[in-house]
Structure 1
Amino acid sequence: MTMKRKLYTSVTLLIGIVVMANLLAYEFRFRLDFTEGRQYTLSKATRDILAGLDEPVTVRAYFSENLPAHIQKARKDFQDMLVEFASRSRGQVMFEFINPNTDEAKEQEVAQKGIRPVMINVRERDQVKQQRAYLGATIDYGDKQEVIPFIQPGAAMEYALATSIKKLTIARKPKIGFLQGHGEPALYEMPQLNQQLQILYDVQAVTFSDSTSVPADVATLAIIRPTDSIPANHLAKLDTFLGRGGRLAVALNRVDGNLQNGQGNEVTTGLEGWLAQRGIMVDAAFVIDAQCATIPIQQQQGFFMLQTNVSFPYLPILSTFANHPVSSGLEQVVMEFASPVRFTGDTTLRFTPLAFSSALSDTLPAPAFFQINKDWKQDDFKARNICVAAAVEGPMVAGGTPTKVVLVSDGDFIINGPPPMQGQQSQQRQVEPDNVNLLANAIDWLSDDTGLIELRTKGVTSRPIAELSDSAKVTIKYLNFLLPVVLAILYGIWRVRRNRKVRQQRMAENYDEVK
């Protein structure tokens, strides 16, 4: 009895200590963050922004009530983040939560601010009904206001808040130039990237002429998928730009494919030769990968033509990234006809591979003919972890200022396409969020030293399934089938032996009693 009392006393004391520790932590906002990526710990970049506030910032969070648990968690996470912001800013950040669903006038007021409701499914009394839900916020600083129209559950909330506050408080945005005039897409053909960059930068087009080059106030220049030849005098202007310490982001097509005729060919603009002179080689070859996207094809099924999706290794899905500010936190980037990147320069430059193909990949030289219906086997992929994106640091021009260059060997991975013409359907597509993050991170790393780059991918939830070999798939298949049967048989044998032993012990005891 004494041992039981001691056990109960110890358990009661332990529970009391845990409860008291939680109460004290909640009262004094002391928490230990054990989440992956330290999701609830404010970064140095955010703390620096909050420390520099000269005026109060008011955050009004518009969240509906009585939401499903997984969406309600987003409200709690956002509130916890605001509490941290208020604490770190020493009261300069104030916030309130408002339920717009209380009356129609309030819904109209919220809509005028740019926050639109989303329709969610709610289960009530064994029935599923749709409910208008608000998950947005406004940030006010002086007479300026920023809007977060939708707070995605599980998204990078710290980045959304920190960048909105910085956008309101920054006096002058750095300028980012996008080179035009050689077949590059216009800014309106990259709306997802443009929207991301305009938070912190002044984005503008840059066109070369005999009398103009890169403006002096442009610190970073982006060259996205040129399709026409770049004249030598324009390449010389790039030399001048890099020589004065300008930063360069390049998304280059070295090969291109046409699914209509099933052919892939080499692309030459002159930019690849200019990069090769600096030791950055982009080979005229296709990267093929067993971990890839699919394309729709028409197949005959009896009397009907049906559209089915087939894997197309020329569209690799990248999930292996370097631990670098440009690529850290990325989980899935989809490429289109990417090429291998390698370094042939000297030790004055530092070459850092950023993104790689999977462990089942290979390269095919251009020109190539696509076999759309080919049944790809594991033996078709004899290479692994081929570099398709890289960063280079150092003096790119003899006697010039050290600079930075980021190269991605696919120029189409970030392009949405042209907007619709009047009366026509949209030709724009949605690109993967991490496609946008990759190039936005690159431009941040080249242009911005605040550290906000680390927050953009904080809180991502994508977890793609790793590609398995054929032998591993067979092993797992039979293991799933046979293991429960084997365990049941072993358990039955153990039960039989145990019951036999118990029966023998009872018979021996009865025999001794009779004797």
Structure 2
Amino acid sequence: MNRKIKNIAILIVGLIVLNILSQSFYKRLDLTADKRYTLSKTTENIVSKVDELLFITVYLEGDFPSEFKRLQVETRQYLEELAATNTNIKINFEAPDNQREALIKRGMLPSQLTVEEEGKLSEAIIFPWVEVSYGKKATIVSLLPNAIVASQDEQLQKAIENLEYSFSNAINSVIQKKQKRVAVITGNGELQDIYQYSFLSEVAKKYRLAKFTLDSVATKPQQTLKDLTSLDLAIIAKPTQKFTEKEKLTLDQFIANGGKTLWMIDNVQADQDSLFTNGKMLAYPRDLNLTDLLFSYGVRINTTLIKDLYAAQIPLATGKVGNQTQFKNLDWYFHPLVGGNPNHPITKNVSPVRLQFANQIDTLKNNIKKTPLLMSSLLTKKVGTPSFIELQSIADEVVEEDYNNGHQLFAVLLEGNFKSAYKNRVKPFETPLFKENAIDNKMVIISDGDVGKNQILKEQPFDLNRDKWTNQQFGNKDFLLNTVDYLLDDEGLIQLRNKTLQIRTLDKQKAFKERTFWQFLNIVLPLILLFSFGFVFNYLRKRKYS
């Protein structure tokens, strides 16, 4: 009796010790081949900064297509990994059924999916959204990437690949105590605010946004430069007036002192409104006096326009039925639809970007690393300027042999040590902030000023990613937002967009054709084996003990 009590006491003590050890030494094992549940160093660093409760609400609960159960499971497993890393992270899955209108008002638009089950197609609506809340700050995350994909399975794969970047980016944005500062440069005829609203309103959700005019350079150049160097990024969107030497030195020294820049430059004057009004327009070179500045960084924007057979559409009147004018959407080769670099995080999984009367970029040899971001298709044609462009040319028969100029570069990322354009030159004004070189800086140059210009519908800014006439979807806003994130990214966060996973999906057609066999194999056969085993076991038992 004493021995039994002793053994029970040892067992209880052992269980208590084991429980204490399990609390102190916690380890999760990732046995997947692609290590999909292993957090990157970047994510671990971001999650470690969460020092108060952070709530993650996932609206992916309820009855929805079976393939998106996979997205739910992957999301849950990934979030459990985050919660295991930091106990301040709390996760909640909610069904959106009773709060759909409220979610839509908060910007969480539903996705309509075509579902194939048992050989039949049906429609389903889901809310693939997540809300991340931290103190008084909150942000929303879409679980479905806005990219052109060949199939729903590919969309699912890209969604799962994007989980770590999406959540790390959202968490990083809400825990930041000091926001980076972005200047929207004005003073040289740049785009008006209403035409940049769709893009800049998204930038303002993550960064401090302010307009910065270069007009004061004429009277207070030193103070203007000092004020500008206190900012982190300058956006120059479609300037139309020539830059003075003082203004150029100000931008040059902003870069030399570590400032990041996003250039959206039109080197050709081509007015789309004039084209639609008069049926033709004169396209001619625009002198912005930036050639030597960009040349010193290793880039030249030419004054040729590029026509691309892979192009966006514009609506044109094709006739009348009764009193109603009939419109048809036709390809307009002066509006190239350009693809992104699939190997760079700025453009990976981004839909084609629409450009309008874009110019070709040449890169020059120097010590700057140059990464192409946006490229045309192979079927391009160069159009010199000045030249007249007529709207009726859209009906001209296409001769593919004329479109043989190959890939054209429209956007390039520059990284490295930039040499000042005013090194060993007479300066338009003296400043104690002058530096001859920028150390480890980066900028993006886009040869189209309209890449960030949204349309206006009923005096309100329209979504940059859509055309109000044709309803075509583009990747302009995603591309520009990724660019801003990359230029301001000190965490290496955007590199997570390059994560690649191998998602093994079911062949639905094969499964449907062979479903009888697999139902028999998984349901009927085990019952037959169990019955056979019971019969044989019972027979042998009776024979042995009869």
Q: TM-score surpassing 0.5?
A: yes
> In the alignment, does 2:412 pair up with 1:390?
yes
Q: What's the secondary structure of 1:283's corresponding residue?
A: strand
Q: Structure 1 220/363 Cα, relative in aligned 2: closer, same or farther at 3 Å? A: same
> In the alignment, does 2:332 pair up with 1:312?
yes
State the one-letter code of the partner of 2:209.
V
For 2:368, the equivalent position in structure 1 comes to 349
For 1:136, the equivalent position in structure 2 comes to 129
For 2:255, the equivalent position in structure 1 comes to 242
Q: Structure 1 217/307 Cα, relative in aligned 2: closer, same or farther at 3 Å? A: same
State the one-letter code of the partner of 2:48.
A
For 2:43, the equivalent position in structure 1 comes to 46
Conserved in 1, the CA contact under 8 Å of 2:141 and 2:166?
no
> In the alignment, does 2:438 pair up with 1:401?
yes
1:454 to 489, 492, 495: 495
| CA apart distance, 1:316 | 1.2
Q: Counterparts of 1:405 and 1:336 in 2: how far apart (Å)? A: 22
1:262 to 266, 271, 280: 280
TM-score w.r.t. structure 2 length? 0.67
Q: Structure 1 117/332 Cα, relative in aligned 2: closer, same or farther at 3 Å? A: closer
For 1:430, the equivalent position in structure 2 comes to 465
The root-mean-square deviation of aligned C-alpha atoms, in Å, is 3.7
> In the alignment, does 2:221 pair up with 1:221?
no
2:91 to 89, 95, 98: 95
Q: Counterparts of 2:355 and 2:104 in 1: how far apart (Å)? A: 38
| CA apart distance, 1:384 | 1.1
Q: Counterparts of 1:135 and 1:353 in 2: how far apart (Å)? A: 32
For 2:290, the equivalent position in structure 1 comes to 271
For 2:188, the equivalent position in structure 1 comes to 182
| CA apart distance, 1:339 | 0.9
Q: Counterparts of 1:302 and 1:308 in 2: how far apart (Å)? A: 13
Aligned sequence identity (%): 21
2:65 to 65, 68, 78: 68
> In the alignment, does 2:182 pair up with 1:168?
no
For 2:484, the equivalent position in structure 1 comes to 443
Q: Counterparts of 2:104 and 2:137 in 1: how far apart (Å)? A: 13
Q: Counterparts of 1:454 and 1:200 in 2: how far apart (Å)? A: 18
Q: Structure 1 82/313 Cα, relative in aligned 2: closer, same or farther at 3 Å? A: same
| CA apart distance, 1:356 | 1.5
For 1:287, the equivalent position in structure 2 comes to 306
Q: Structure 1 384/41 Cα, relative in aligned 2: closer, same or farther at 3 Å? A: farther
Q: Counterparts of 1:78 and 1:449 in 2: how far apart (Å)? A: 26
1:333 to 353, 356, 380: 353
Q: Counterparts of 2:140 and 2:408 in 1: how far apart (Å)? A: 38
Q: Structure 1 426/147 Cα, relative in aligned 2: closer, same or farther at 3 Å? A: closer
For 1:30, the equivalent position in structure 2 comes to 30
Q: What's the secondary structure of 2:228's corresponding residue?
A: coil
Q: Counterparts of 1:401 and 1:413 in 2: how far apart (Å)? A: 27
| CA apart distance, 1:265 | 2.9
Greater mean deviation of Cα atoms: 385-394 or 153-162: 153-162
CA displacement 1:146-194 (0-9 Å, x = unmatched): 1327543744443332222112211201111110122222444333422
> In the alignment, does 2:144 pair up with 1:152?
yes
Conserved in 2, the CA contact under 8 Å of 1:318 and 1:335?
yes
Greater mean deviation of Cα atoms: 78-87 or 317-326: 317-326
Q: Counterparts of 1:187 and 1:456 in 2: how far apart (Å)? A: 30
For 1:372, the equivalent position in structure 2 comes to 394
> In the alignment, does 2:386 pair up with 1:363?
no
Aligned residue pairs: how many? 421
1:6-25 to 2 correspondence within 5 Å? Answer: none
For 2:448, the equivalent position in structure 1 comes to 410
Q: Counterparts of 1:207 and 1:321 in 2: how far apart (Å)? A: 33
Q: Counterparts of 2:400 and 2:54 in 1: how far apart (Å)? A: 56
State the one-letter code of the partner of 1:436.
K
| CA apart distance, 1:350 | 3.5
Q: What's the secondary structure of 1:336's corresponding residue?
A: coil
1:58 to 55, 69, 89: 55
CA displacement 1:406-440 (0-9 Å, x = unmatched): 1010110122145754xxx6666534563223222
CA displacement 1:362-390 (0-9 Å, x = unmatched): 31111232412112122121111111111
Q: Counterparts of 2:36 and 2:374 in 1: how far apart (Å)? A: 24
Q: Counterparts of 1:180 and 1:350 in 2: how far apart (Å)? A: 29
State the one-letter code of the partner of 1:262.
K
Conserved in 2, the CA contact under 8 Å of 1:389 and 1:409?
yes
| CA apart distance, 1:273 | 4.8
Conserved in 1, the CA contact under 8 Å of 2:61 and 2:93?
no
| CA apart distance, 1:39 | 7.2
| CA apart distance, 1:80 | 3.0
Q: What's the secondary structure of 2:484's corresponding residue?
A: helix
Q: Counterparts of 1:341 and 1:43 in 2: how far apart (Å)? A: 36
Q: Structure 1 117/198 Cα, relative in aligned 2: closer, same or farther at 3 Å? A: closer
Q: Structure 1 278/138 Cα, relative in aligned 2: closer, same or farther at 3 Å? A: closer
Q: What's the secondary structure of 2:337's corresponding residue?
A: strand
Q: Counterparts of 2:454 and 2:264 in 1: how far apart (Å)? A: 14
Greater mean deviation of Cα atoms: 266-275 or 150-159: 150-159
State the one-letter code of the partner of 2:236.
I
Gaps of 5+ in 1: 1-26, 461-515
CA displacement 1:249-296 (0-9 Å, x = unmatched): 101111225332333332332234532354421110111212111222
Q: Counterparts of 2:36 and 2:398 in 1: how far apart (Å)? A: 40
CA displacement 1:42-92 (0-9 Å, x = unmatched): 4432232113332342212233511233554443343233123223x2434
Q: Counterparts of 1:250 and 1:277 in 2: how far apart (Å)? A: 15
Q: Structure 1 72/115 Cα, relative in aligned 2: closer, same or farther at 3 Å? A: farther
Conserved in 2, the CA contact under 8 Å of 1:59 and 1:138?
yes
Q: Structure 1 396/328 Cα, relative in aligned 2: closer, same or farther at 3 Å? A: farther
For 1:16, the equivalent position in structure 2 comes to none
For 1:251, the equivalent position in structure 2 comes to 264
Q: Counterparts of 2:340 and 2:107 in 1: how far apart (Å)? A: 36
> In the alignment, does 2:83 pair up with 1:86?
yes
Gaps of 5+ in 2: 1-26, 146-155, 424-435, 467-472, 502-546
Q: Counterparts of 1:288 and 1:269 in 2: how far apart (Å)? A: 23
| CA apart distance, 1:121 | 7.9
